[in-house]
Amino acid sequence: LPNEFEMARPVLQTIESAGFEAYFVGGSVRDTILGLPIHDVDIAASAYPAEIKELFKRTVDTGIEHGTVMVLDHGNGYEVTTFRTESGYQDYRRPDQVTFIRSLDEDLKRRDFTINALAMREDGEVIDLFNGLTDLKRRLIRAVGDANVRFNEDALRMMRAVRFASKLDFSIDPDTMSAITTHSHLLAKIAVERIYTEFVKMMMGSKPRLGLQDMCNTKMIDYVPEFKNYLPGIKKIIALPEFRLKNEFQVWGLISFSFGLNHKQISELLKRWKAANQTIEATQKIVTALRELVAHGLNSMTLFNTGQSLLGDTMGVARALNISVDETKVMQRYDQLPIKNVHELAINGGDLIKAGVLKPGPELGRILKQLQSVVINGELNNDQPTLLEHARVILSHERKGE
């Protein structure tokens, strides 16, 4: 067993020696059998949250209404979730009503796909009620039970099918696929935030182009924010050679560039997707940098504005888009910028006021921006006397109305 499981074994043993059942479940079991690295280890148990809390010294109520308690053990945190069924699905959304149960079978039955419905005992024995192991071998995403019923219960599962197909480079079982096509319109009922998470993970998987193709074939693409207005852009991405993206900034950078969006349109699209402001700004910077790369190469000001980390992301997207760039040279030019951030400018607002060049007020920021830009473009050295003098020159020209 991988180290993550070995570390968690005492937690399972503690639960079991109190007379309950406990298993590893979910993605970590699936990924271990596939030989993939795992991040978090999820545990399912017959004990109720209060019973779990009595067994361990340190726990955190991370989602107690859903039956989840985080157990802290030797510096690691494990989510222990009570076996449960979900009932009363309304509006095609995940129910907020869960019933705690004592049977593992019922808990596995509510899970989305056969490969996600495996459980593993503390000794490594796998419980496989729905032929998940066969599906892992055949590389198939197949709904647990009747796919039509399962997508009616929770329409997000359709996006999850595409997400896992892309992540693992699996196919979607034909019955499951046709149920998605039948029910794709139900995606419109799902909170955008939940679609966002699955979509970004899909795009960061190993076969994002197949994921997009599946979204087109099943018409899911029509029920996620805005995409149906940009089908030529989607087609362009599908037609790219195989690529791999590292984070959500790269995902939205690639999409916005392929859709041909300007700053305002990027912000409009991503607001519909309920993206964080930080994501919107990062995407705008990446797209600006990509456009300059294609047009005439990056200028120094853009290197500065983009910053090292997003420049790295930009290079990644450029690679995905098959834009040829000398990445080493770009990063070298960045390293050689006279300043990397505002604070490295040899002068600040206080200095300008002390020297009697300007009074406090909005003018200050404007002048500092100009000084910053002459330094970044290499027109003047970054030293205080030079910049003070330049500030005086700018202001006297302006006051003469030049």
Picked from Mg ion, ligand ATP, none, the partner binding residue 111 (CB below 5 to 8 A depending on kind) is ligand ATP
Picked from Mg ion, ligand ATP, none, the partner binding residue 53 (CB below 5 to 8 A depending on kind) is none
Look at residue 108 and give its three-state secondary structure.
helix
Residue closer to ligand ATP by CB (options 116, 218) is 116
Q: Which residues bind ligand ATP (CB under 6 A)?
A: 26-27, 94, 111-112, 116-117, 154, 156-157
**Least distance to ligand ATP, CB of residue 107, Å:** 9
Identity at 53, one-letter amino acid code: K
**By C-alpha distance, which of 144, 136, 150, 215 is closest to 179?**
150
Where helices occur in 123-191 by DSSP H, the ranges are: 132-138, 147-153, 156-168, 174-183
Instruction: Tell me whether residue 319 is annotated as binding.
Output: no
Instruction: Tell me whether residue 163 is annotated as binding.
Output: yes
- Read out DSSP for 187-236? GGGS-HHHHHHHHHHHHTSS-HHHHHHHHHHTTGGGGSTTGGGGHHHHHH
Two structure tokens written together for 338: 């006279």
Instruction: Tell me whether residue 111 is annotated as binding.
Output: yes
Instruction: Tell me whether residue 30 is annotated as binding.
Output: yes
- Read out DSSP for 2-30? -HHHHHHHHHHHHHHHTT--EEEETHHHH
Residue closer to ligand ATP by CB (options 132, 316) is 132
Residue closer to ligand ATP by CB (options 53, 157) is 157
Instruction: Tell me whether residue 272 is annotated as binding.
Output: no
Instruction: Tell me whether residue 146 is annotated as binding.
Output: no
**Least distance to ligand ATP, CB of residue 121, Å:** 17
**Least distance to ligand ATP, CB of residue 167, Å:** 7
**Least distance to Mg ion, CB of residue 12, Å:** 18
- Max distance between CA atoms of the chain, in angstroms, equals 88
Identity at 209, one-letter amino acid code: R
- Read out DSSP for 371-389? HHHHHHTTSS-S-HHHHHH
For residues 248, 252, 258 and 260, what is the CA-based torsion angle, rounded to 10 degrees?
-160
If 0-12 CB within 10 Å is exposed, 13-18 middle and 19+ buried, where does residue 21 land? middle
CA dihedral over 259, 262, 267, 272, signed as positive or negative: negative
Picked from Mg ion, ligand ATP, none, the partner binding residue 176 (CB below 5 to 8 A depending on kind) is none
**Least distance to ligand ATP, CB of residue 186, Å:** 13
Q: Which residue is nearest to Mg ion (CB)?
A: 27
**Least distance to ligand ATP, CB of residue 111, Å:** 4
Residue closer to Mg ion by CB (options 27, 205) is 27
**Least distance to Mg ion, CB of residue 4, Å:** 12
Instruction: Tell me whether residue 399 is annotated as binding.
Output: no
Q: Yes or no: say if 42 and 25 are a contact pair by the CB < 8 Å rule.
A: yes
Q: Which residues bind Mg ion (CB under 5 A)?
A: 27
Residue closer to Mg ion by CB (options 28, 288) is 28
Identity at 14, one-letter amino acid code: T
Residue closer to Mg ion by CB (options 32, 258) is 32
Angle between helices 300-320 and 277-295 in degrees, nearest 10: 90
Residue closer to ligand ATP by CB (options 198, 280) is 198
Q: How far is CA 393 from CA 72, 218, 402, in A?
A: 63, 64, 11
**Least distance to ligand ATP, CB of residue 46, Å:** 17
Rounded distance, CA 119 to CA 21, Å? 12
Residue closer to ligand ATP by CB (options 127, 394) is 127
Picked from ligand ATP, Mg ion, none, the partner binding residue 112 (CB below 5 to 8 A depending on kind) is ligand ATP
Q: Which residue is nearest to ligand ATP (CB)?
A: 27
Known binding residues for CTP are 27, 30, 111, 154, 157, 160, 163
**Binding-site positions for ATP:** 27, 30, 111, 154, 157, 160, 163
